[in-house]
A and B are shown apart, each in its own frame.
Chain A
Amino acid sequence: MEQGSLRSSRQCGRSGREPPVCATDNRTFFALRIEELADRLYGVALRFTRNRAAAEDLVSETVVKAWAHLPQLEDRTCFEKWIFRILANTFFSQCRHRREETLAAEEDEDGFSLFDRLHQPFLLWWGNPEQELINKLLCEDLDRALGALPDCYRAVVVSVDLLGHSYAEVAGMLGVPVGTVRSRLNRARSQLQRALWQQAQAAGLVRGSLDEGDAHD
């Protein structure tokens, strides 16, 4: 793992530094924060890996690395952002071996917009189809659409949309140019919205929808 990724950011949290703490306080602080963040660590790990056993391994490895590098965390108010960077970095380092899938996925077209599909005059006649669809989508629908993305696309969506990382941060972690992150994100979101549209059609959640052929521009 790149050491730079483990250094705390000075951009988040309070400006003042936390006072020096002893080893027992370190452990208590660390254990409390891990307990507080366990739901999110596991949730994000699961979205990255799509596999429960792999997600458990990823969280465990992240916790071990975070403890080892805790002395480098200068501002403890940044702990959450810092540990999720470690988690993402750990996952990305596992992904760097999957070049073939990345290259294949990047040939896909982009530009699908759920909003454009729903914002049609004949659909608007019934009310607000966009809001209606958002309300009807189940977590399971979103999870399935996210899970169907190739690893390299899902990784950037999870990093940007779920973790709030900047394009530059993701580019640094993946070792690719910012433009590559931007294009992967655009394609990923396009594929995600297409999958949601197809699921919504199959479940009868959208009225008067365009036929399947029209859904593929």
Chain B
Amino acid sequence: MTEQERIHCDEVVASLLEYLDGELDDARRARIEDHLAECRGCFSRAEFERALRRRLQALATEPPPDSLKRRLKAILDEF
């Protein structure tokens, strides 16, 4: 990669969440990945955001109350 193609930490920070969301095009994603492979600070930042997101994703699961189970059973029985 040429010096011109390299990106700096502030650009990585600005695009990091979009990178983690899978919203960047291939070329920009590759440049960020090259940077993360070499920059400990940005790598740590990316790992922190990933870890925080994993914790948030755990909130997507919650045992349904009995009232909802009964309601769903009644709905399914009608189909």
Which A residues are closer than 8 A to B by beta carbons? 27, 30-31, 34, 38-44, 46-47, 52, 56, 59-60, 63-64, 67, 114-115, 118-119, 130-131, 134, 137, 139, 142-143, 146, 157-158, 160-163, 166-167, 182, 185-186, 189, 193
Contacts and interface: CB of A to CB of B under 8 A. Distances in A.
Given A56-B67, A67-B79, A161 B72 contact: no
Given A30-B79, A185-B17, A134 B55 contact: yes
Given A39-B62, A161-B57, A59 B72 contact: yes
Interface in B56-74: 56-65, 67-69, 71-72
B52 A43 contact: no
B63 A160 contact: no
Contacts, number: 103
Contacts of A27: 76, 79
Contacts of B64: 38-39, 41-42, 56, 59
* Interface of A, helix, strand, loop or mixed by DSSP: helix
A139 B51 contact: no
21 contacts: A27-B79, A31-B76, A38-B64, A39-B61, A39-B62, A40-B60, A43-B59, A44-B60, A46-B62, A47-B59, A56-B64, A56-B65, A63-B72, A118-B48, A130-B48, A134-B55, A139-B59, A142-B55, A161-B57, A162-B56, A193-B52
Interface of B: 17-18, 21-23, 41, 44-45, 48-49, 51-53, 55-65, 67-69, 71-72, 75-76, 79
Nearest to A59: B68
